[in-house]
Every structure is written in structure tokens, then in C-alpha cells.
Amino acid sequence: MVTGMGAVSPIGVGTQAFWDGIVEGRSGVRLLDRFDTSDFSTKIAATVEDFNAEDYVDRKEARKMDRFAQFAVAASSMAMQQSGLQITPEVAPRVGVYIGSGIGGLMTLEEQHKTLMERGPKRVSPFFIPMMIGNMASGQVSILFGAQGPNSAPVSACATGSNAIGDAFSIIQRGDADAMICGGAEATITPLALAGFCSAKAMSERNDEPSRASRPFDAGRDGFIMGEGAGVLILEEREFALSRGAHILAEVVGYGMSGDAFHLVQPNSQGAVRAMTSALRRAELTPDAIGYINAHGTSTPVGDISETKAIKDVFGEYAMKLPVSSTKSMTGHLLGAAGGIEAVACIMALREGILPPTINYETPDPQCDLDYVPNKARPCEIEYAMSNSFGFGGHNATLIFKRAE
């Protein structure tokens, strides 16, 4: 059972602010002004604005965290508040944390490397390592709330957030925890990361039109947009949640994962097929039960075609009637946090009866011919929503959510 949600995103901080941005079809992509981008082919990103870590943790503790961990703490605080879960000494060993990050504290790494080069080894912060390593989102959240149960941090590139939620779901199913704080967090909009993705020719170079740059499934797409933020859910075992009178927001019913075993960065549609098929099998659903898919949909030329093919392979003729959209058209690609924030979008779609749009959809691509909910949110009551996340290395993760009864 999902009893709480938290979102830190480029289109709003807080679940309601994030959802309002989704329904409005608002883009969070903007010109980068954090550092000089003169020599970069891509000069835009989807950045989180108006975020203050001290709204969620005291200043002294916030200074010991990389930005990705601050995002995780903020999203977890929102989710915990909504859930009303009290982690008392009695329940603490049965409450765990699974919050992953695709890259971790890259911002801290770059800052401290600069300090080392310019000022010498003695000036490197003693907090450098615990700020940088990717498990520290889970570590900081567990310390903040006193969650003593299963604790880890999956790393599977852009599938990380979905893997974290799926793994937490599995932990509860097998009886190792009664509740899990789970999701993904990422904050890697730095010179080094931007330079790496630019060199890989993976990102959009539509610098003169930031808000129109992320355009999944559109014929004019030319690459993804880096984003940052966090999405966190509180999952609880059904009887545990009901026994304390928790308000149920939705239910996780399916989880599938697979490996492409194909290429480091090029997708293989059959890996995505296996993940979706596995999730459907675990949920004990036929394909036509799914009312909406939140696609991985990164706005890359090859990736969007591959995912479209995979959906057709899994859903057959029904694929042509199935609404599929990419919220990355608005948020950019949050990398390891994508699955977390997109899980929030799926649950809100189930609760509100509104399907998120794919904005900037202007010119159909003959190889991408599904219903992508173009440009405007669509009223539609659905019972099940699927979320896809596919990562570098060939990691695939699919989640299925059910509307609360």
C-alpha cells in the first residue's frame, strides 16, 4: 500500500506543486546559469528552483549532505508527513529505507577535487566521502527518522528509482519489513556531467528554445535534457497500514526487471518487453487491464522508437488504444530519480483521473505511432497504471500501480 508521497522536481517542490505543473503542461527546462556554459554544446537543463534544504533539516546537518541527499530528505519528509507513520522504538526494526541514486554526490566530488588541486589535501573536507557516496540518501533518511529495518541503495542508472520501489515492494511481500521509505534522488547538473553527456551526443542542443527542447516521441527530438530532484513513496504492508488507520493512496501490484545483455547505452526492445511482461505476470493482469503507461520516453531518437516497439510487442493491437505519455517532456530526465518522480505522477493520475500529457509533441514520427496524450492533460478514469524505467547498462524496471479502493 502507498500511504505517502514526496516530490522535488524542476516544475515544483512538493507533490501538489509537481502535479499542478504536470496538469498545466509546464516545462521545467531553462538556460543554465550555475556555471559558464560557453564551451558546451548543450546550455540548458531542468533545474530545481526555490529549494531550501533547511526547510527539512537543520542547517548544520544540511551542510553535511550533497544536494542529492538533501532532495531525498526533503521528499521523504513530505512522504512521511502525508503517511502519518510514526516510527516508534517498537516498529523501527520493521521500517526500512531503499532510496537509490544513479550517480550520487557528483557535485561534492567536483567541488572537493577542485579544493584538492587548488589548496592541497589538507583542505579536503572530512565529510567528502560520506557526502559523495550514493548510499547516503538512504543513510541520512534512516538516521533522520530512526528507520532500523532493511536499508540499501540500488544503483541501476536511469532505472534506479523504479528498482528501489520495486525492491522495497518485494521486501514487504516476503515479510522482512512492514513499511519502506523508497524512491530515487539525483543532483548531477555539474560541469563534468554536462560535458560527459555532451561528448556522448546524447542531449538536445535546442538552446534557443529551452521549454521546447524535451520532446519525446516527436519527429524533431534531438536528445534528452538533464534534470534533478527526488521522488519518494511510503509503502506499507496492507494489514499494518489498516491497523493504524492509514489513508491508502494507491497499491503497488506489479514489478518486473530485466537486463538487455546487449549494449552499454543502446536499448534493446526485448529487454523492455521482458520487464513489462514480468510486471504483468506478477500483478496477475492481462495487458488490456492497463489504462495508462508513463513511458521512459527520454526524447532520444533511438530510445523512443525502441520503447514504442516494446509496447506494441507486449500489448498487441491494444497498444494503439492505450494512452502512453512521457512526463520527461516537462521535468527533463532525472536519471536515478526518474522512476521515483514518475511513480508519483502515476499515482496522482490514478487518484485524480487525469493523464499527464507529452508536451512539445508537434510532428508525428512514423516509427512512434501510439497515443502519446499530446500537449494537454486528459481526463480519464483508470484502474491500473504502468511506469517504465530503462537505464544505461541495459537495466530495465517496470512498476504497476492500482487505484485505491
Catalytic residues: 158, 296, 333
All three cell numbers of 275, joined, read: 520487464
Contacts of 185 by beta carbon, 8 Å cutoff, 6+ apart:
8, 68, 69, 71, 72, 75, 99, 100, 101, 137, 229, 230, 232, 336, 337, 340
All three cell numbers of 261, joined, read: 545483455
Residue 376 DSSP class: S
What kind and span of H or E run contains 343?
helix 338-352
CA–CA separation, 140 and 151 (whole Å):
11
- CA 282 vs CA 50, 116, 212, 277, 401: distances in Å: 40, 50, 38, 9, 12
- Write phi, then psi, for 376 (nearest 5 degrees): -130, 140
CA–CA separation, 360 and 115 (whole Å):
41
Q: Bridge-partner residues for 378, per DSSP?
A: 355
